[in-house]
């Protein structure tokens, strides 16, 4: 009888610990450093971030690259060897 009680206790303890750990995993996922996006009925615009791409060009037979922000239409940094 003692072994059955011990088994039931360990069984229940495992379910409780699974519930505690799964709750902490869910809360850890919700605390990311990315900005959350809230859309209200008044403002239906959604911010998706700037679109950054690499642009390439050849100068004096060498390939160079530079980042370009397509959203703001501005260059980022300088030309660097690719």
Residue 60 to residues 49, 57, 63, 69, Cα–Cα distance (Å): 35, 10, 8, 25
Q: Which residues, at least 6 apart from 56, have a Cβ–Cβ distance to it below 8 Å?
A: 63, 64, 65, 82
Inter-residue contact 38 to 47 (CB < 8 Å): no
DSSP letter (8 states) at residue 72: T
Inter-residue contact 65 to 55 (CB < 8 Å): yes
- Domain limits, the chain: 1-30, 50-82
Q: Mean pLDDT score of the chain, rounded to an integer?
A: 74
pLDDT in the model for residue 66: 97
Per residue of the chain (82 residues), what is the pLDDT tens digit?
667 777 676 676 665 655 545 554 544 455 545 555 555 555 566 777 899 999 999 999 999 999 999 999 999 999 999 9
pLDDT in the model for residue 72: 94
């Amino acid at each position: 009888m003692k072994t059955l009680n011990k088994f039931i206790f360990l069984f229940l303890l495992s379910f409780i610990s699974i519930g505690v750990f799964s709750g902490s995993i869910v809360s850890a996922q919700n605390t990311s450093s990315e900005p959350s996006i809230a859309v209200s009925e008044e403002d239906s615009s959604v911010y998706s971030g700037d679109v950054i791409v690499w642009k390439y060009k050849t100068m004096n037979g060498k390939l160079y690259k530079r980042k370009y922000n397509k959203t703001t239409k501005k260059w980022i940094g300088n030309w660097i060897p690719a």
